[in-house]
Amino acid sequence: MRALVLCGALTAALAATSAHAQIDITGEWATKAHEDFDDRVPGDVQGDFTGVPMNDAARRFAESWDVTRVNLLEHQCQPYNVAHIFRGPMQFRIWTEKDPATQSIISYREYLGTYQQFRTIWMDNRPHPPDYVPHTNMGFSTGEWHGDILTVTTTHIKKEFYRRSGIPSSDRTTLVEHYIRHGNLLSHVMIITDPVYLTEPYLNSEEFVQMERGNQNWLYNCEYVMEVPMDKNRVPYYLPGMNPFIQDYAKKFGLPFEAVFGGAPTTYPEYEPKLEQLMKGR
Amino acid sequence: MSAHRNIGRRLALASCAAALTAFAGQAFAQPRAPASAPASPKAGAPIDLTGYWVAVVSEDWRHRMATARKGDYESLPLNANGRRTAGDWNLDADNAANMQCKAFGVGGLIRQPGRLHVTWSDDDTLRVDFDAGTQTRLLEFASTAQPSGEKTWQGFSRAQWQRPPQAGGGPQRAQIGNNTGPIAPGGGGRGQRGGPELSPALAEGGSLKVVTTNFRAGYLRKNGVPYSESASITEYFQRLPDAANGDVYLLVITIIEDPTYLNEPFYTSTMFKREANGAKWNPTPCRTAPPPAGTQQTRAPEPLPR
Amino acid sequence: MRAAPKSAPSLRRATAARRVAAAALASLVVVSGGVRAQSGSPFDGTSPARASYSASDKDARSGMDRAERTVDGVETYHVQGNVYMLIGAGANVAVQTGADGVLVVDTGGAAKRAAVLAAIRRLSSGPIRWIVNTSAEADHTGGNETISQAGQTVNGNPAAIIAHENVLARMTEANRPITELPLNTFFEPARDFYFNGEAVFLYHPANAHTDGDVFVYFRGSDVLVSGDLFTTTQYPVIRADQGGGVDGLVASLNQMLDIAVPKYLQEGGTYVIPGHGRVCDEAELIDYRDMVVIVRDRIRNLAAQGMTLQQVLATKPALDYDGRYDNPRGPWTSAMFVEAIYRDAGKTTSGKQRAAVK
Amino acid sequence: MRMNWKIVLPAACLMLMAAFGVRAHHSFTATYFEDREITIEGKLLQFMFRNPHSFVHIEAPGDDGQMHRWAVEWGGAGALAGQGVTNQTLRAGDVVKITGNPGREAGDYRLRMQYLRRDSDGFEWGKKPGETFQ
């Protein structure tokens, strides 16, 4: 009997070491926004800066941010950049481009339904371009596999936002992504460094489920029109200290604004008791 | 009887031999498999999860760092029963009933701001201590380990390593990128079916799959959003490739299926950053800070299906 | 002048967007059909310029790799159509080539003039006919003599140098040799001519970076060359002592915005070669415009409250952009930018604030 | 991992609607006073059935009694199409009554569409389930 037990244990140990994970990330994937839904899908009141390691420059930008600036002709069709677009509700397709001579993967390609963006993730070890070439919304990406994790590094990204609440991103952003698949779930990690607006890397992770029926209404035509009658060259903004809506989120959810606007220190466990103190009596 | 015992022994030895043969075959047949076959989950761990890890709360901040108001169910695929039950949450009643740890059970603990201390308690058991709520989880690799009769906050966790195909005899050709070296001439230059040599990086790493059962009902979030004893909880612990600045990150993907309160699988992924030591390790008792006064109206569920 | 009426850009945008939407289906079919990935597809988020950046780093247009495109630190980069950018010569240099010869916008600093000429020669052996100076700055005009003398107009003279008449005045004041001077000047708001198969527009925005600025638009290639009215490396330089002013600068950026049309969702279409820095499109141009307007208005608001320059500087009125555009070691710092706007504001504010400026 | 596709697939489809109907470069809640409503009535000048959001321009009086060009922000073309609205649904010259949330920007004559009625044929939008996308 002892022999049987020993054998069972040994066999179990072997089984435990023999499972193989998925590595094929191609297919069509749809967002599951089970984290930060209100920010990522419909958008909430102005002023959700929680969890972002923003610096003082980003705070000043956010204080000046007037959401109606996006109504300007040249802004209204500006897509989310690659460091932001995965946060929204999205379906995207991944497929491979293979070298016919070797069947090795030259690149992964992505078509992102939101804003109809295309990406190429080069797998052939090519260098990133020099600084003087144009930056794009999707940037320039190179990838490499580490076991079952596809790690992608993207540079040459156009400036945009980390949040629609006015947390800016700069054109010096570097995005590192990790694609991880388990069954029909694709986890997508974003580690964002931005020396202009962040004090430390900004960490995001999103989940996508594989779509059984894909390719539905994936086109996005945005037409520039004068949405709201205004001087074409007017730039909506608030002078420092004059933004009447910046604390709306803090007020709506009973949070101290200094915590909502606090940046990196508020993202670590040590901040929890401080926050409780700040919230006492609210 | 003795004859039976003999038969039993013979069967046991035969199956053991078969298992060992299969194991040896797996371990040595593939050039890119680890040189020495893992003798135990600890010795053969494809990734090192041990050490101190701190949660970086950059997502769901108001639900994790703060205690959201009752009625704030943002992002959750709750069904009507889940909403009704969450609507009955009463922190004072929980405290009076000595149920402070309900928000620190296996279904919600990973989302609490805190630190993990991961160690091997033996060759087959990975121990994860949480300073938030001073909780301990034991991740059991050995099939001989069985849950006790009593349900606990952390339940019983069955663990299994998952390895990339290259580490265990997957495709040896170049279809998965990371190509190095010259193109093999004639499509067979290296005795392969063509294609460049694979990068060793393809054999790196792996993940830890954990399925937990036998747990007490608890809260998904501090503000009383429930999960039931019959929920299915599956986790994947992923150590991410080291960042260029030297940071090391751990991602924990959690999938909770609970028809009692949820109308679809509930997915979260939680990021931790490695710390050099336990200098900031700060065990605290199970305790939930009171939410702001009032009840939060959560907007209509919107695109999430009802 | 032939500048489009104000409403034209939005109409063009709508048309472009419809074109794009219609073509998108076809593009999807092709791209998802497993065709080997090529940057420069209308919707792949890359520009034709980026398309030239391949693994071998060969420029699709010139066929030269990066080493071949580099002469003594001056690199050549194909932007779009007939237009190239030379980087590393001080200010950016734009080169248009074609059957009629070569047109050069700005000639870089004197130290790199030989390299600029050699780089131009690698692009074309045709005659250098025209040189345009976008301002009188030394890092934009230092190669005038070398490039001009190497060129030839149809009547056999060295290549003609065109600029606004105020540029000639400033270079004359600076005792620059006659061989460096832009003797083909104009004074009107815009001038245009046809060269290498496309219309070339020279626009003179009044009192912007200086009082002699010119930006160039190649209509066929769809490339703007902004001079120092727009850069990606620093705050705009406003030279009040040379007739520059922040309102004129904003007006010049708005004028460029009216001309620039994105290909799809603020990407591609019209490309802009800035005075310094990387190739951009309309998206970066408008962000820069927004920045100048916002910082200008903050400073004017503070000046209107009677704050001294030091008090204004203490509020860091450009804090949200300093991480991107400030160069604390110069030559043009955030403080200099703020002071230029403050003194500019002083021109239009009350005597009390003018006194505070002193 | 077990996956309930009966739930996941509709979720994906609905998410798709969200992608085109809700996610714009600004948040409605941050742009309009969602706790306030006003009603205007006037002649439709322009119907822009488009992405990221559709707009209806109406000539109607403001608080000052003067006629103004009101911009009423509606859903994106993708979301509205899913609710049976087409680019022919409204036409210039239609007299319509619109109730919506006023914009937060003082001086802007803009609303976020909540309810529209055209008396000439009784066409209504915004009351029946499925005719609002948020």
Q: Give pLDDT tens digits for A230-279.
A: 888 999 999 999 999 999 999 999 999 999 999 999 999 999 999 999 99
**C101-105 vs C198-203, strand pairing mode:** unpaired
Q: Is the dihedral of CA A248, A250, A254, A257 positive or negative?
A: negative
CA dist., res. A102 & res. A100, Å (int): 6
User: Would the pLDDT of B30 be above 70?
Assistant: no
E strand or H helix at D5: helix D5-21
For residue C65, what pLDDT is reported? 83
C and B interact (at least 3 Cβ pairs within 8 A): no
Give B189's contacts (C-beta < 8 A, 6+ positions apart).
none
DSSP conformation class of B20: H
Is B69 an interface residue toward A (CB < 8 Å)?
A: yes
Give the sign of the dihedral formed by CA B59, CA B65, CA B66, CA B70. positive
Q: Which of A78, A91, A184 minimises the CB distance to D25?
A: A78
Cβ separation of D27 and A183 shorter than 8 Å? no
pLDDT (tens digit per residue) in A110-137 = 999 888 899 999 998 899 999 999 999 9
Nearest to B287 by CA among B136, B132, B155: B132
Does residue D92 contact residue D131 with C-beta atoms inside 8 Å?
no
Contact between residue B212 and residue B106 where contact means Cβ atoms under 8 Å apart:
yes
Please state the separation of Cα A1 from the chain's center in Å: 55
Nearest by CB to A145, from B16, B160, B177: name it: B177
Joined together, the tokens standing for residue D76 give 């994106």
Q: Position D91: which residue type?
A: R
pLDDT at B299: 59
DSSP conformational letter for B298: P
Q: How far apart are CA C340 and CA A38, in angstroms?
A: 43
ipTM of the complex: 0.84
CB atoms within 10 A of CB D122: 7
Query: What does D57-105 look like in DSSP terms, one character per residue?
Result: EEEEE-TTSSEEEEEEE---HHHHHTTT--TTSS-TT-EEEEEEEEBSS
pLDDT tens-digit readout, B232-241 = 999 999 999 9
CA distance A90 to chain C (A): 17
In whole angstroms, what is the distance from residue C189 CA to residue C201 CA?
11
Per residue in B80-134, pLDDT (tens digit) is 999 999 999 999 999 999 999 999 999 999 999 999 999 999 999 999 999 999 9
Q: Using CA atoms, how far apart are residues D63 and D24, in angstroms rounded to an integer?
A: 29
A116 touches C at CB < 8 Å: yes
Token pair 């700055």 in the structure block, residue? C137
- Measured between beta carbons, the chain D residues lying within 8 angstroms of B299 are 134
Per the CB < 8 Å rule, is C55 touching A171? no
Per residue of chain D (134 residues), give pLDDT as tens.
444 434 333 344 444 444 333 455 678 888 899 889 999 999 999 999 988 889 999 999 998 999 999 999 998 887 888 888 999 999 999 999 999 999 988 788 999 999 999 999 999 998 656 665 43
Q: What mean pLDDT comes out for the span B37-51?
A: 89
- Among D8, D14, D23, most B C-beta atoms within 10 A, so best to mutate, is D14
Given B234, B264, B303, which is nearest D8 (Cβ)?
Answer: B264
What pLDDT, on the 0 to 100 scale, is given for residue B156? 98
A35, A193, A207: best mutation site toward chain B, by most B Cβ within 10 Å? Answer: A35
pLDDT at B5: 45
For each of chain C's 358 residues, which pLDDT tens digit applies? 333 333 333 333 434 443 333 333 233 222 222 222 233 333 344 433 343 344 456 777 777 888 888 999 999 999 999 999 999 999 999 999 999 999 999 999 999 999 999 999 999 999 999 999 999 999 999 999 999 999 999 999 999 999 999 999 999 999 999 999 999 999 999 999 999 999 999 999 999 999 999 999 999 999 999 999 999 999 999 999 999 999 999 999 999 999 999 998 889 999 999 999 999 999 999 999 999 999 999 999 999 999 999 999 999 999 999 999 999 999 999 999 999 999 997 564 333 333 333 2
Q: Tokens in use for B240?
A: 């991410």
Neighbours of chain D (3+ CB pairs under 8 A): A, B
| Identity of the amino acid at A133 | V
Given this model, what pLDDT does residue D52 score? 84
* pLDDT value of residue C43: 36
| CB-based contact, B134 to chain A, within 8 Å | no
pLDDT digits (tens, 9 = 90+) for A47-106: 999 999 999 999 999 999 999 998 888 898 899 999 999 999 889 999 999 888 877 889
Chain D residues whose beta carbon lies within 8 Å of the beta carbon of residue B267: none
Tell which residue, D126, A71, B137, B293, has the closest CA to residue C290: A71
Q: Which of D11, D27, D105 sits opposite A43 (nearest CB)?
A: D27
Q: Poorest-confidence range of A73-82, B40-49, B165-174, B259-268?
A: B165-174
Whether residue B198 is predicted with pLDDT greater than 80 in this model: the reply is no
Q: What pLDDT shows up at residue D108?
A: 86
Buried b (16+ CB within 10 A) or exposed e, B118-155: bebeeebbbebbbbbbebebbbbbbbebebeeebbbbb
Q: Of C46, D64, B17, which is closest to residue A110 (Cα–Cα)?
A: C46
Q: Which two tokens stand for residue C209?
A: 């970076």
Chains touching B (at least 3 CB pairs under 8 A) are: A, D
Q: A interface mutation test: which of C77, C324, C326, C334 has the most A CBs within 10 A?
A: C324
Give the nearest chain D residue to A86 (CA atoms): D19
